[in-house]
Structure 1
Amino acid sequence: MPSSTVAPDAGRIGEGRTAAPIARRRRRLLLGFAGAALLLVVLSVLSLMVGARTIAPADVLHALTHYSRSDPNALVVVDSRLPRTLLGIAAGLGLGLAGTVMQGLSRNPLADPGILGVNFGASLAVVVAIAFLGVTAPSGYIWFAFAGAALASALVYAVSSLGREGATPVKLALAGAAVSAALGSLITAVELTSRVSLDAMRFWQVGSLAGRGFGVLLQVLPTLALGAVIALALGRLLNGLALGDDVARGLGQRVGVSRGLSGVAVVLLCGSATAAVGPIAFAGLIVPHIARRVVGADYRWILAYSALLAPSLLLGCDIIGRVVAPPGELQVGVVLAFVGAPVFIALVRRRRTVAL
């Protein structure tokens, strides 16, 4: 009789002690997520304000709510900076989620869009379109870039799937490096035979948010949104893959399906972002590490944080590029390389870097 009265109380005490840390952790993660969202909002407003001509917040709001072609502030804010800001948010979200999925898929902390040949595939398709088809506008070659990214990623995955083990992380990385090297050689060969393609590719390959209008954003938005939905739904699957294929299978997970869905998400996200703004490095590489240090090893939270931190990083670097070299500006790909390289080196050198 005493045991029947004491045991329930002991169980409730144990449950309370277990639930309290979980509740505190969830509250902390939600507060951090809200802070990341606030940071993105602040940087978005700064992106509309800062440039060769600084515009006050009140004037930005007036330009957005009372657009008029006779108002010079409205022309700058709505016609130039607004599509640039929205494209930065969209491309950053795509690169951040894609980098997170790629690192979880390959269990490789150095995974980025280059591991599946996305950048080189998109670049080759663009240079071919420019050199042989006469396509020079971003709105014209964007679909070539997307198709090239998708085909290169499919080729890498097909090559790495050969053999009994399937697409293991090591085979995926090796196949990606081999395909990227081959495509890079083809890009150089085409550029050396076409001066027009060389001039056009210089501005696309550096990675830039400038000069892209609403048309480019609308073209990539459907595939980018679909890729983001798939990626955000992969949290539990990536948690299983992080334990190893054998353990994931033992837990009832269909590893082949998980890898296939991850590959589709990567192609959609990387292909869309790369086609729109060019091959921007480091955004998909360092952001998952930053998110992982904040939230731990749970990919559900890593994906959510990366979806906010990567656009913030991209917009922040774009804003810096506008003000460091007046009256001109540095493209976001150049600034991100300067900012991202030291940050990533510091991350990988720290002893407490969270393992995948």
Structure 2
Amino acid sequence: METGPATALAGIDSRSFRVWLQTTEERKNIEEGRAYYNDPSPVPPPEKHTPSSLLQCHRKLVYRKENAPAESEMAHGILWVGSRFEEDVVLPYLRDTVADDGLFVTNSLYVDFELKSESGDLTVKGSTDPVVVDADGTPVLPTEVKTKSSLEYLDEPNEHHKAQLHAYMVGLSEKYDVNVKRGCLIYGGRDAFDLKVFDVEFDEAFWQSTVVEWASDHTAYRLDSELPPADSRFAWECDFCDYRERCGKGEIKCQDSASHGLLPEFEEYPRQPLLEYLDAHDAKLTPTLAQRYPNLCEKYEVYDWSCNQCGTRIEWESSHLSGDGDRLCPTCADDDRLVVLSDPDLKEQTANGAR
């Protein structure tokens, strides 16, 4: 058998890399006793919040928490860079810089506390970034570490990062029975590999009137099963949102869609987010996606094509093709009408989506 550059290159491509990355992550979770990480994310209770989600778009978070199908791959690259920057750069930097006079740096602490709000009792749970502690392990200064493409125009901390740091201060104060009133936000620039640090003092008015009120509103939306309005607090969120099409801010004709169901005729769902959605909801593929991912049809059922004119349902593999490659309704064709079949709409999928 001949070997050489062509043989080596044959298996090196984006698809094999994605498969390798996913398989490696799943194996690691199993080996570390966290096989449940490989399962679809459970839907959290409406009262539960995480520090990192505070002040983000209500609608985006409802879609994410209820396992709506994401329209883009997770930003693994940015997440990986951020993790490596925190663990390999910032953590040792802090230990070498502040580890003096009885101070130490721990890589993270867990917070779990309750809030009183107009929507009832809320909980906030999550892990901090590095925390400066004293010799007894009592927190002195929590940090939040973020990376950005550039720090050139960063003159103040982002509001949602400030909210996240406030949650750490509240949670650590309660857990350790201390009064943590200062934290620092550390931003790393991915271009020049530099730092900007912001000293953040706890602001009770900001915490109550902005953060707690936001959390109360978000819980109310979910308790009432109400789709939040499509108006994010931060304009940039829409540009990078995984649910632009579903929300109605993309290119297809869609508006105010619920969390469940695959967008009809939408072909851009990446494979991994699609699999996560199918497993989370025990759902079926649309015919459009069955054509794009035919190998998935061995595991998942597929909806029939639908005719919006006469209501005919046709098995996804057995419809007639027009000269342009469109799949035509045979019932309408018998009446000398050319009607293109379509995927079932979201309402039909929600009503009949389970196997």
Q: TM-score range by the shorter chain?
A: under 0.3
Q: If the length of structure 1 is used for normalisation, what is the TM-score?
A: 0.23
Identify the structure with the greater strand proportion: 2
Instruction: Indicate the structure with greater helix content.
Output: 1
Kindly name which structure, 1 or 2, has the bigger radius of gyration based on alpha carbons.
2
